[in-house]
Amino acid sequence: MQSPGKHLSSHDRRTLTRESRWPKWMAGIAALAFGFLTVVSCAAAQNASGNAAYVNPFIGTGAIGGTNVNDSYENLFPGPSMPFGMVQLSPNTESHGFGYHYGEKMIHGFSMTHMSGVGCSNEGDVLFTPTTGPIETRVAAFESPYSNKQESASPGYYEVHLLRWGIDVALTATDRTGEAKIVYPAGKTANLLVPISRTLNRTVGAHVRVVGSNEIEGYVRNVTFCDRDSPYDVYFVMHFSQPFIRYGTWRGYLGAGHEGFINSPPAKITVGSREATEASLDRQVGAYVSWPSSARRRTVLVKVGISYVDLKGAENNLEAEAAGKSFARIRDQAAAAWNKALGVIDVRGGTRRERTIFYTALYHAMLMPSLFSDADGRYLGFDGKIHRVSPGHAVYANFSGWDIYRSEMPLLALIAPKRMADIMQSIVLMYQQGGWIGRWPQINHYTNVMAGSPLTTVMATAWLDGIHGFNIKAAWQGMYKDATEAPPPGKPYQGERGITWINKLHYVPNNKVRYGSVAQLQEDCVAYASLYDLAKALGKDGAARTLYERALYYRNVFDPADRMFRPKNADGKWVTPFNPDQTEGFIEGSGWQYQWFAPADLAWVIHAVGRDRFNRRLTHLFSYRKPEWLPQYYNAYNEPDLEAPFEFNFSGEPWKAQNAVRRILRMYYSDTPDGDAGNDDAGEMSSWAVMSMLGLYSVDPASRAYELVSPVFSRSVIHLHAPYAGKTFTIDTSPDPMAHPYIHGVKLDGRTRAKDWIWFGDISKGGTLSFALGSTPDRHWGTAAADAPPSLSDESP
């Protein structure tokens, strides 16, 4: 979602008509600077092998000096994490926000948690930073300048030189722990500060304790993102490879705002104190440890375990995953884990740049949802109680639902079905323990951010794809309740906005629900359609009929006069005046960008608009000259119209889909810090690129139909796993696909296919999809009405 943050982030409060961009000479500087970064990133990648060697974690970390070429912050982090790991150990270059932006001048320290590419300030929990000399507690006194020429990253690894202190820091991670190898200069006192009260969001409590001569432990209490302010605790245990000789704590006030954060009044340092507690919001606490100067450079290995349950969990996670292991061994294990994860898809052909874009996007699609259960199986439920997951399974958290149902979750269902089953069961547990299925749950809290019931679509898609390792009985109960009922008053979850009005009027009235009334209904109808498909599969005929009817409610906000979706009031009258440029009635988009948003029933939309008019409008949507945030054009920076290019497959002009997708990939995705389309939104934008580069995309994932466009690589092999029957699904093309963007013919397992789509089952059973490509459009292949993908209108319940 460009995200909740697209309208809340202080970095990203722009309007749809904002056109500010870097001049060409500044873009040249960015490219030159990133050239240096690519050299050092490749140096880090020497430890990686296989597909992981193509990943550049700096892609999408934009931008130079805090200004982004696309005026859109991707908000990705470069530091190490395991696939879907609990820990995301990464540098912080800002005091409040997302963590790291490439080209910022200062590193404040390194924190253990970050969410990947979301749109609001978040997490940044358990901050630590090394210094030399006297102890300083103000950020302005302990932050350090750094150079992009002296930092590097690869999957599971990051390193940087802190210029102020002459300190080298290298980071790696396990699932639930982070490791830092810190090399201090000779001849200076070496310090490690733990400013535990400082997070990237809003700290509401903290405690720190120095234990013995080689440990610090404690917790920090932060709040959920996007001003939702539900508190959660992150417990930590920090072990040092060398005993420290001095230690202490500090207490003081936090200044207001960014400048106050950086230049807050000096705190009171108590030498020899072992414990400090933050008692109020305007206070800060922290701890430090020190080692004496030495004639040689001093290397200290810091191992940090975290847990959302308790200190015991953090200690146990550290013991289970990092005890007795060297930094090099942990780094090697992380690199091996990433190479295995990324090995699920092998591509051939294309340039190194194209493979870097592809595998970095695949890497970013594997960072969230995040592991939430401890090594002993314990986790904190949505009821606030401690539970234990069955052995061999895990619980996951942080679901950017409104974003990821579109392409990230379908991708994970395809390439990681076993993990996907645990992710689905985690949603079921949310319902069983919390009372409802949220749409953007963070940690073990409902944030109620965004719209619709996206996790219903996710679970329906997973089950229909054949992933049955979760409690479908409880899942169905929760999904159907969310689709038909309003939550009880006073609960932390919101359910579908306007559900009472939907049940009464069969649409969401704009004068009763002010936040995106049209988009709310359109999103709800996506979930209803998904649940309808699931009801059929489960033999729930009565529910299927009800859900089919509800899935068509989107038609109630379609105006046949101007053939547009538009807001309507409770009295049944259209809101006037109406201009499709407007955002009233829509969510993070305009009337133009939502005019096709009925992904489960595009056949009806095309018929209602008129095929010729539909194609003219859709063609105009892609007539932009350069990437911009404008209401009348396609917006690859955000989710509402991500499916729009593939709608040409429904309207009889699939060659335009092929051209549009190639153009989007070329203009919005690159191997630079600015190389992702907007906030990555927990992997959504990256997964869009992965699917599109493979030549597959599902406009309506629960339908199990995948629309075809021209692949980027001459061969892509997807390695399949149980429960799927096949071993591999291979996508082949004629030579030089990048120079030949248009499909001239398709064969599935050797048989000619006229349709411009295939079933998910065609993929999961294994086989070969072959494309004959050309340099000019083929205006015959896939253009017949019978060649279009399925829609709800094609059937009767």
Concatenating the DSSP letter of every residue in 234-289 gives: EEEEEEESS--SEEEEEEEEPPSHHHHHHTPPPPEEEET--EEEE-STTEEEEEEE
Mean pLDDT of the chain: 92
Name the strand (E) or helix (H) holding 607. helix 602-609
**450-462 pLDDT, tens digit each:** 999 999 999 999 9
User: Among 50-59, 128-137, 275-284, 405-414, whose mean pLDDT is lowest?
Assistant: 275-284
Rounded to the nearest 10 degrees, what angle do helices 472-484 and 417-434 cross at? Answer: 60
Asked if pLDDT for residue 256 goes beyond 90, the answer is no
Residue 182 phi/psi, 5-degree rounding, is -110, 125
Please answer whether residues 52 and 154 qualify as being in contact, where contact means their C-beta atoms are separated by less than 8 angstroms.
yes
Asked if pLDDT for residue 27 goes beyond 50, the answer is no
Please answer whether residues 534 and 464 qualify as being in contact, where contact means their C-beta atoms are separated by less than 8 angstroms.
yes
Mean pLDDT of 114-125: 93
Q: Which of 446, 454, 428 is nearest to 492 (CA)?
A: 446
Is the bond leading into 701 cis (omega within 30 degrees of zero)?
no
Query: CA 258, CA 264: separation in Å to the nearest integer?
Result: 10
Query: CA 44, CA 170: separation in Å to the nearest integer?
Result: 11
**322-379 pLDDT, tens digit each:** 999 999 999 999 999 999 999 999 999 999 999 999 999 999 999 999 999 999 999 9
Residue 85 phi/psi, 5-degree rounding, is -70, 155
Number of H helices and number of E strands within the chain? 20, 33
Please answer whether residues 292 and 300 qualify as being in contact, where contact means their C-beta atoms are separated by less than 8 angstroms.
no
pLDDT of residue 796: 77
pLDDT of residue 39: 40
Is the bond leading into 723 cis (omega within 30 degrees of zero)?
yes
Please answer whether residues 397 and 426 qualify as being in contact, where contact means their C-beta atoms are separated by less than 8 angstroms.
yes
For 126, the token pair is 């358990």
Asked if pLDDT for residue 588 goes beyond 50, the answer is yes
pLDDT of residue 571: 98
Query: CA 577, CA 749: separation in Å to the nearest integer?
Result: 53
Is the bond leading into 577 cis (omega within 30 degrees of zero)?
yes
User: Looking at this protein, which amino acid is placed at residue 110?
Assistant: F
Mean pLDDT of 665-694: 94
The model's confidence at residue 13, banded by pLDDT at 50, 70 and 90, is very low
pLDDT of residue 737: 97
Q: What's 496-533 look like in SS3? A: CCCHHHHHHHCCCCCCCCCCCHHHHHHHHHHHHHHHHH
Query: CA 33, CA 584: separation in Å to the nearest integer?
Result: 41
Total-model pTM: 0.94
Asked if pLDDT for residue 36 goes beyond 50, the answer is no
- Give the strands of the sheet with 757-759, arranged side by side: 696-697, 705-708, 757-759
Q: What share of the chain is helix, strand, coil (3-state, %, to 5)?
A: 30, 20, 45
pLDDT of residue 260: 59
For 219, the token pair is 């917790």
Neighbouring-strand partners of residue 109: 92
